[in-house]
Amino acid sequence: MTRILPLLTGAAVLSAALLSTGAQARTLKEIKASGTIKIGTNAEFKPFTYFEGKTMKGFEYDLGNAIAKQMGVKAEWINQPFDGLLIGLNQNRFDLVISSHGVTPERAKAVDFSAPHYCSGGLIVSRPGGPKTAADLKGKTVATQVGTTYVDQIKKVTGEKNLRVYPNNANALQALMSGRVDAMVNEKFYGLEALKLNGKKLQQGEMMFQEKLAMAVAKGNSTLLSAVNQNLKTVQANGTYAKISKSYFGQDVRCK
């Protein structure tokens, strides 16, 4: 059974993140000396980071590995729930977070974001006959993942009482498929993947909003941040990024 989490607001999550700082983030030099960069992600987000059996895969997985390679280190991936990732970063459980975080002013108070590694947004998905536009969502129950930017967007159109937050995306999708909610709002490419897998049981609605997605380092970790930005630029210039992007999305998803 799905347990619906209490409504943790972004603000509550982030004030916890801010309070938990203290330990010192590893500098680029320290990461290089250790030979390994630790990257936190929520790997149930196909096609970004996900598991096929015991193997992690995805656009962000390949991109993170390409950036690590440019830095001359190995990537060690740590999988954990989405709403704990920025907190974990400030507790130095990892050096870098790559998990499709939309850049928001609120998050930017707690962590430092890289240049965006792709541009996308929130897509409405429902069952045939269900809501397809933001206007249609008014008065309908809508599922999404806890701690995400979709939460605020959904609240704006249908109000807090119609919002259903789930610990992960698979639970939100399951709630939609089984008729417990009227719609789901999620990352565009996650939604398209769900549509591909579930054929006629689901229908595609409109894009609700656009966002820039970026990688995060602990606040003030400037040596690591500039290395990440510089290496992102390199893989975007040398064809690596385009190749990875096309293999997952059939298109280049960098911000234009």
x/- map, 2-41, ligand ARG, by CB under 6 A: ----------------------------------------
- Asked if residues 120 and 213 have their Cβ atoms less than 8 Å apart, the reply is yes
Using CB under 6 A as the binding rule, whether residue 62 contacts ligand ARG is answered as no
Helix (H, G, I), strand (E, B) or coil at 72: coil
Using CB under 6 A as the binding rule, whether residue 114 contacts ligand ARG is answered as no
Task: Single out the residue of 14, 45, 162, 193 in contact with ligand ARG (rule: CB under 6 A).
Answer: 45
Distances (CA, A) of 168 to 61, 137, 209, 221: 18, 21, 21, 29
x/- map, 171-210, ligand ARG, by CB under 6 A: ----------------x-----------------------
51-59, 95-103, 126-134, 240-248 -> range binding ligand ARG (CB under 6 A): 95-103
CA pair distance 64, 48, nearest whole angstrom:
11
Q: Enter the tokens of residue 92.
A: 């130095």
Task: Single out the residue of 25, 40, 42, 217 in contact with ligand ARG (rule: CB under 6 A).
Answer: 42
Return all residues near 152 (Cβ < 8 A) that are at least 6 apart.
10
CA pair distance 219, 47, nearest whole angstrom:
28
Binding site for ligand ARG (CB under 6 A): 42, 45, 48, 82, 99-102, 145, 148-149, 169, 187, 213
